[in-house]
Structure 1
């Protein structure tokens, strides 16, 4: 879980910006976008093969 604590003299906008950077760094946004719609298993395998990874 990502937690952001307010620093001394930090505005809300700066805190939100730091939170967004942390989410990007953790890959949270990428995972949310990937899981936001259903992907058939055959499409997952096709994407993995195209990327170069083997099927699981």
Structure 2
């Protein structure tokens, strides 16, 4: 769980920006999207195959 404590004279915009940064670092959004709806085994296989493809593409990009 991400938590941000605002400073004495810190504006709400900067606190919100820090909170969004913490949430993205923690990886909450991808996890939330993954659990948003039921995923069939076929969809799961496709998603993992695409992820493997992207990972291999990055690995051999040099």
Same fold (TM over 0.5): yes
Q: Which residue of 2 aligns with 1:35?
A: 35
Task: Give me the TM-score of the superposition, normalised by structure 2.
Answer: 0.68
- Greater relative contact order: 1 or 2 (C-alpha under 8 angstroms, separation 6 or more)? 2
Q: How many residues align structurally?
A: 53
Determine which structure has the larger helix proportion and give its number. 2
User: 5+ unaligned residues in a row in structure 1: which ranges?
Assistant: none
Task: Give me the TM-score of the superposition, normalised by structure 1.
Answer: 0.74
